[in-house]
Amino acid sequence: MHTSPLDQPGTGDAGGMNVYIVEVAKRLAGRGVEVEIFTRQTCRDLPPTVELVPGVTVRHVTAGPYEELDKGDLPSQLCGFLSGVLRTEAAYDPGRYDVIHSHYWLSGQVGWLAKERWGVPLVHTMHTMAKVKNLLLARGDKPEPVVRVLGEEQVVEVADRLVANTATEAGELIDLYGAPASRVEVVNPGVSLQVFKPGSKPEARARLGLPHDAYVMLFVGRIQPLKGPDVLLKAAARMVAEDPALRSRLLVAFVGGLSGNGLARPSHLTDLAAALGIGDIVRAAPPAPQHELADWYRAADVTAVPSYNESFGLVALESQACGTPVAAASVGGLRTAVRDGVSGTLIEGHDPRVWAGALRTLADRPAWRGVLGRGARDHAAAFGWSATAGRLLEVYESTIRLARARVAAGL
């Protein structure tokens, strides 16, 4: 409900979840499953339906004003969104849908009521959870509101299946939300191995206009406190302070747009870089389409993911698929997405001094980076989207069978 799969990931509320839905939908369609995606219409000129690929239809539902709403205001539009979803189904013969898969808690609320109306099972993926985020807040970030916590608890209670991205997330659903373990399934997200693959570093740098001899540390994602861009900037400043000669070859690149609480301080990144005295070695670029994003990963020496919380961490997986090792915070799904000491390094906490030490080690040991790069490529190869879609299809089929058996038994 709060973001469209047609939006460019890396800005606004578009991120890993958008990629997940698009890639899974395409591969389900390739297996003969017809997929319809309902999303809120955010522009008057958008057509009612868009064919993403044959077998995948995106339906734009009018719910509230067309201009962008703050995510915090979207609960007030749940009724309007639900009405549009139900009207669409009512225009067809009964039994059009076999299963509902809702993503994020707002859509879970709509899925809950559609499930009751249509008599079909509900599968839900949280992607992020309020209770987890509130335990791991970045400095300057706001806690998630009580209304979201309550909404998530309701969805956990009514969903027929809960799909967790990792075993860690499954444990959080069980421990923090009281989800029955029998209703939780782990399905790892994937990566597009046809797009994100190793390539020539010099050629990638030439296409992006980056110095051929620089040491490039890359950040990809939405610019907001949750993602920890400040951690990377402060670590880079410490690296330069400890070794002034490093300044001549260090480049810190940020690829992404403002999002969440980051919107309140649009110039924060450049202001902080200037205050730290490293504005001259920082480059900011807007969100990039996948083929260009792959070039950024290939051009980098290391991709930094200093997030305070990640349900999985697709950026880490994309970078590794391109053969670029990752330095990531040891939180949430990043512990699964990155294999410590094999495909990258996991860093405890968000102390810039610790991050500077880890990043400096990678900078000083090119041979070790090469070993990690080869390990990164091999690690990512096990996470194709086809495997994700296949596992989800198994979850759908088993959930449908169980729901039908319960109906037959009069339960």
pLDDT digits (tens, 9 = 90+) for 373-385: 999 999 999 999 9
* Mean pLDDT calculated for residue range 279-290: 92
- Return the CATH number of 201-381, one of 3.40.50.2000, 3.40.50.300, 3.30.420.10, 1.10.10.60: 3.40.50.2000
The predicted pLDDT at position 407 comes to 84
Q: How many Å apart are CA 311 and CA 130, to the nearest integer?
A: 12
The radius of gyration of the chain's CA atoms, rounded to the nearest angstrom, is 22
Alpha-helix runs per DSSP H in 249-289: 268-275
Quick one: pLDDT band at residue 312, thresholds 50, 70, 90? confident
Model confidence pLDDT, tens digit, residues 163-200: 999 999 999 999 999 999 999 999 999 999 999 999 99
Looking at the DSSP bridge assignments, the partners of residue 35 are 56
Quick one: pLDDT band at residue 264, thresholds 50, 70, 90? low
DSSP element (H, E) containing 23: helix 16-30
AA letter at 220: V
- Res. 324: pLDDT tops 60: yes
Model confidence pLDDT, tens digit, residues 74-112: 888 899 999 999 999 999 998 999 999 999 999 999 999
Model confidence pLDDT, tens digit, residues 28-66: 999 999 999 999 988 888 899 999 999 999 999 988 777
The predicted pLDDT at position 17 comes to 87
Strands in 49-53's sheet, in edge-to-edge order, are 35-40, 56-61, 49-53
**Exposed, middle or buried by CB within 10 Å (0-12, 13-18, 19+), for 158?**
middle
* Sequence-ordered list of residues with C-beta below 8 angstroms from that of 169, at least 6 positions apart, any chain: 126, 129, 186, 311, 312, 332, 333
How far apart, in Å, are the Cα atoms of 13 and each of 7, 68, 70, 223, 310?
Answer: 9, 10, 10, 11, 14
The predicted pLDDT at position 191 comes to 93
**Looking at the chain, how many residues does it have?**
411
Contact assessment for residue 25 and residue 306, using Cβ atoms and an 8 Å cutoff: no
User: Which of 241, 363, 384, 234 is closest to 302 using CA atoms?
Assistant: 363
Q: Where are the domains of the chain?
A: 16-188+385-409, 201-381
Q: How many Å apart are CA 220 and CA 197, to the nearest integer?
A: 17
Binding site per annotation, positions for Mg(2+): 297-298, 300, 324
The predicted pLDDT at position 18 comes to 86
The predicted pLDDT at position 4 comes to 79
The predicted pLDDT at position 71 comes to 72
The predicted pLDDT at position 12 comes to 59
Binding site per annotation, positions: 2, 8-9, 13-18, 71, 104, 128, 148, 222, 227, 297-298, 300, 310, 318, 324
Report the percent of the chain where pLDDT is more than 90. 75
CATH number for the segment(s) 16-188+385-409: 3.40.50.2000
Quick one: pLDDT band at residue 136, thresholds 50, 70, 90? confident
Binding site per annotation, positions for 1D-myo-inositol 3-phosphate: 2, 13-18, 71, 104, 128, 148
- Res. 262: pLDDT tops 70: no
Quick one: pLDDT band at residue 10, thresholds 50, 70, 90? low
* Sequence-ordered list of residues with C-beta below 8 angstroms from that of 338, at least 6 positions apart, any chain: 305, 313, 316, 320, 326, 328, 344, 345, 346, 379
Model confidence pLDDT, tens digit, residues 391-404: 999 999 999 999 99
The predicted pLDDT at position 74 comes to 82
User: Which of 189, 161, 138, 200 is closest to 312 using CA atoms?
Assistant: 189
Residue 106 has, within 13 A of its CA and on its CB side, a CA count of 18
The predicted pLDDT at position 68 comes to 66
The predicted pLDDT at position 179 comes to 98
Q: How many Å apart are CA 54 and CA 168, to the nearest integer?
A: 35
The predicted pLDDT at position 9 comes to 61
What ranges make up the beta strands (E) of 234-300? 250-255, 282-285
DSSP class of 30: H
Looking at the DSSP bridge assignments, the partners of residue 122 are 100
Q: How many Å apart are CA 40 and CA 63, to the nearest integer?
A: 6
Interior angle at CA 238, CA 279 and CA 294, nearest 5: 60
Binding site per annotation, positions for UDP-N-acetyl-alpha-D-glucosamine: 8-9, 16, 222, 227, 310, 318
Report the 3 state secondary structure along 62-123.
CCCCCCCCCHHHHHHHHHHHHHHHHHHHHCCCCCCCCCEEEEHHHHHHHHHHHHHHHCCCEE
**Beta strands 250-255 and 302-305: pairing type?**
unpaired
Same fold: 16-188+385-409 with 201-381: yes
Contact assessment for residue 70 and residue 259, using Cβ atoms and an 8 Å cutoff: no
Quick one: pLDDT band at residue 411, thresholds 50, 70, 90? confident
> Under DSSP, is residue 7 helix (H, G, I), strand (E, B) or coil?
coil
